[in-house]
């Protein structure tokens, strides 16, 4: 297990979990608030396992909290896609679906101990985000417009999602194209964006403030 | 700890561990849920292997603490290990566990969903997620009551 890979995917799960948690109480219905919290909880669990493994591989005595709370933005290596703002519910769902389709392929190929569990969890997530995307895309003119706008905004970050995992891309393209067709959405034709971690500082400020204000605090 | 303080034999210890209630679903035990993979005794040390239901299940640490306490009170030194592979499946919930879930108003996982109150299969999925990571929400079209269902995973 490569340290850089463990950290990239630990960061992916942690930062997406944080974005989802920001959305709670803003979902269109209370059941969806719970769904988003559940997705975040699973992602947080995956991040914890990956950070703990990273600590073992690194051999420097660092635990999961070190990686989550005591690294600065420059040290995070999450895909830029997962830190994109919630903006509206369509953005939340499009970001989640593009991520879930990637994450499922990633876990299926990972060959790590935690993977079997993560595959089950991610399969469930993808079913949810996919169903919502089809519902929004193939819904009212307004939901369709918003879903397409979110897709166009987030698509430029897809390339970077596959950094170090290019072999997963062809199957992802096929799966996503099928979903977008069902959702009556157009596959965007945009150039990749510069992978700049524009939002990471503000996400981490909120995520880390309590741990840093009270170092070593326990319940 | 010396052997004379041991109050249970290995079979008694195994029972005690299996009977630890789940902290979020106290009407079922961790044995019912299929979380306990093995209980082995080597001298005064008991090694308990647990499989969490979900990676992020917040009850995992509480369960480990409760098992630790159960093993200690049985007179053994506990060693708790968590394994993630093979991944826990709701198929591992025992027949007794399924009955107990239904009695508590939670539809057990399985091929069909039936209302745990009136038994009707005329039910509607409200949300694939619920108040804990392991449950989803339904309403019964016959008796009109909402109920939770253990997610099949």
Task: Give the mean model confidence (pLDDT) for residues B101-116.
Answer: 92
What pLDDT sits at residue A14? 98
Check CB contact under 8 Å for A49 and B55.
yes
pLDDT single digits (tens) B48-79: 999 988 888 888 889 999 999 999 999 999 99
Domain segments of chain B as ranges: 3-82, 105-150
| Cα–Cα distance for residue pair B41/B10, rounded to 1 Å | 7
Count of CB atoms situated within 10 Å of the CB of A33: 17
Residues of B in contact with A116 (CB under 8 A): 84-87
**Taking CA atoms, what residue in A is nearest to B53?**
A117
What pLDDT sits at residue A133? 98
Residues of B in contact with A43 (CB under 8 A): 56
Which residues of chain A approach chain B closer than 8 Å at the C-beta?
31-32, 34-35, 37-39, 41-46, 48-49, 113-114, 116-121, 124, 127-128
**Cβ–Cβ under 8 Å, residues B123 and B140:** yes
Check CB contact under 8 Å for A116 and B87.
yes
pLDDT single digits (tens) B19-40: 999 998 899 999 999 999 999 9
| Cα–Cα distance for residue pair B123/B85, rounded to 1 Å | 34
Residues of A in contact with B88 (CB under 8 A): 117
Q: Which CATH superfamily is domain B3-82 in?
A: Fe-S cluster assembly (FSCA) (3.30.300.130)
Q: Which residues contact A109 (CB under 8 A, 6 or more apart)?
A: A167, A168
Indicate the pLDDT class of residue B7, thresholds 50, 70 and 90. Answer: low
| Cα–Cα distance for residue pair B150/B34, rounded to 1 Å | 14
What pLDDT sits at residue B2? 46
| Cα–Cα distance for residue pair A198/B122, rounded to 1 Å | 49
pLDDT single digits (tens) A176-199: 999 999 999 999 998 999 989 999
Classify the complex by whether its ipTM is higher than 0.85, answering yes or no.
Answer: no
Count of CB atoms situated within 10 Å of the CB of B11: 10
Structure tokens at B148: 């939770």
Indicate the pLDDT class of residue B85, thresholds 50, 70 and 90. Answer: confident
Question: Which of B129, B136, B139 is the mutation pick for testing A, counting most A CBs within 10 A?
Answer: B129
Task: Give the mean model confidence (pLDDT) for residues B123-139.
Answer: 90
What is the value of pTM for the model shown? 0.87
Q: Cα separations (Å) of A219 from A214, A216, B22, B64? A: 11, 10, 21, 17
Q: Between A and B, how many residue pairs show a Cβ–Cβ distance under 8 A? A: 69
Residue labelled with tokens 């902290």: B23
**Taking CA atoms, what residue in B is nearest to A41?**
B56
| Cα–Cα distance for residue pair A203/A184, rounded to 1 Å | 33
Indicate the pLDDT class of residue B8, thresholds 50, 70 and 90. Answer: low
Structure tokens at A3: 């340290």
In this complex, the residue of B55, B56, B137 whose CB is nearest that of residue A31 is B137
Structure tokens at B32: 């019912």
Residue labelled with tokens 């830029």: A80
Chain center to CA of B46: 20
| Cα–Cα distance for residue pair B17/B48, rounded to 1 Å | 8
Average pLDDT of chain B? 90
**Taking CA atoms, what residue in B is nearest to A36?**
B129
Q: Which residues contact A209 (CB under 8 A, 6 or more apart)?
A: none
What pLDDT sits at residue B111? 83
Check CB contact under 8 Å for A34 and B84.
no
Check CB contact under 8 Å for A35 and B137.
no
């Amino acid at each position: 297990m490569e340290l850089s890979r463990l950290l990239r995917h630990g960061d992916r799960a942690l930062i997406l979990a944080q974005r989802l948690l920001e959305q709670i109480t803003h979902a269109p219905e209370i059941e969806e608030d719970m769904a988003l919290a559940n997705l975040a909880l699973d992602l947080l669990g995956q991040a914890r396992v990956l950070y703990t493994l990273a600590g073992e591989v690194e051999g420097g005595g660092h635990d999961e909290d070190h990686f989550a709370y005591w690294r600065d933005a420059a040290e995070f290596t999450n895909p830029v896609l997962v830190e994109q703002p919630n903006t509206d519910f369509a953005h939340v769902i499009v970001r989640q679906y593009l991520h879930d389709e990637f994450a499922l392929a990633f876990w299926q190929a990972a060959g790590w101990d935690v993977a079997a569990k993560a595959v089950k969890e991610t399969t469930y997530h993808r079913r949810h985000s996919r169903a919502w995307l089809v519902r929004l895309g193939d819904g009212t003119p307004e939901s369709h417009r918003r879903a397409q706008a979110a897709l166009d905004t987030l698509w430029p970050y897809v390339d970077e999602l596959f950094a170090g995992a290019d072999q997963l891309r062809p199957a992802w393209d096929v799966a996503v194209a099928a979903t977008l067709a069902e959702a009556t959405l157009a596959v965007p034709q945009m150039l990749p964006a510069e992978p700049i971690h524009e939002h990471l500082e503000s996400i981490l400020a909120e995520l880390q403030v309590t741990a840093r204000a009270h170092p070593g605090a326990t319940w | 700890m010396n052997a004379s303080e041991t109050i249970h034999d290995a079979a008694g210890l195994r029972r005690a561990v299996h009977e630890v209630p789940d902290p979020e679903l106290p009407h079922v035990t961790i044995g019912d849920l299929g979380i306990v993979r093995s209980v082995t005794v080597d001298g005064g040390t008991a090694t308990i292997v647990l499989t969490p239901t979900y990676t992020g299940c917040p009850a995992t640490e509480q369960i480990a603490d409760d098992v630790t306490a159960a093993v200690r009170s049985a007179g053994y030194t506990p060693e708790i290990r968590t394994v993630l592979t093979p991944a826990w499946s709701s198929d591992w919930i025992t027949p007794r566990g399924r009955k107990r879930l239904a009695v508590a108003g939670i539809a057990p996982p399985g091929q069909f969903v039936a209302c745990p109150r009136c038994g009707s299969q005329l039910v509607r999925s409200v949300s694939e997620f619920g108040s804990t990571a392991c449950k989803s929400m339904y309403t019964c079209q016959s008796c009109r009551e909402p109920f939770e269902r253990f997610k099949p995973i």
